[in-house]
């Protein structure tokens, strides 16, 4: 997947593999929110401080959607390791979602038609 990211971006992907941890959904959401609340069914996230990708323990290695989620978080890892600059953390999604969509289609024939308004909301720096 790192090679695919390198072939589809200008990022250096000659990087060590990140630590990937599979945890129960409740723990995933607790870690992400730092115990302050529960996100709505989080699919995974990349911890920029610890350089850890967290995925739910329901992750299925050969499932197209699971692979797309892993790729998405690897994109954030690559962005971070390349010290890419963004106006805010949400802006990182502007790159990750379209790449995830392209990967799913190219590798699995999976058409991900995400809601464009939602994409705008989660990839735009506030205030809204």
Whole-structure pTM value:
0.90
pLDDT surpassing 60 at residue 128: no
Chain centroid to Cα 44, Å, comes to 7
> Which of left, alpha, beta for 93 (phi over 0: left; psi -120 to 50: alpha)?
alpha
Summarize pLDDT for 13-63 with one digit per residue, the tens.
999 999 999 999 999 999 988 877 766 678 999 999 999 999 999 999 999
| The CATH number of the domain covering residues in 2-122 | 3.40.390
59, 91 Cβ separation under 8 angstroms: no
Q: What gap in Å lies between CA 29 and CA 47, rounded to an integer?
A: 12
pLDDT surpassing 60 at residue 76: yes
Q: What gap in Å lies between CA 29 and CA 100, rounded to an integer?
A: 21
Residue boundaries of the structural domains of the chain:
2-122
Beta bridge partners of residue 55, listed in sequence order: 22
């Amino acid at each position: 997947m790192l090679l695919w990211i390198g072939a589809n971006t200008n990022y250096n992907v000659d990087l060590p593999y990140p630590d990937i941890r599979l945890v129960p959904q409740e723990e995933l959401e607790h870690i992400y929110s730092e115990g302050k609340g529960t996100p709505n069914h989080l699919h995974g996230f990349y911890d920029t401080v610890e350089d850890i990708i967290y995925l739910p323990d329901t992750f299925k290695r050969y499932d197209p959607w699971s692979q797309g989620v892993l790729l998405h978080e690897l994109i954030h890892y690559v962005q971070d390791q390349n010290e890419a600059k963004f106006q805010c953390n949400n802006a990182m999604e502007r790159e990750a979602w379209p790449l995830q969509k392209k990967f799913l289609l190219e590798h699995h024939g999976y058409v991900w038609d995400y809601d464009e308004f939602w994409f705008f909301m989660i990839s735009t720096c506030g205030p809204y």
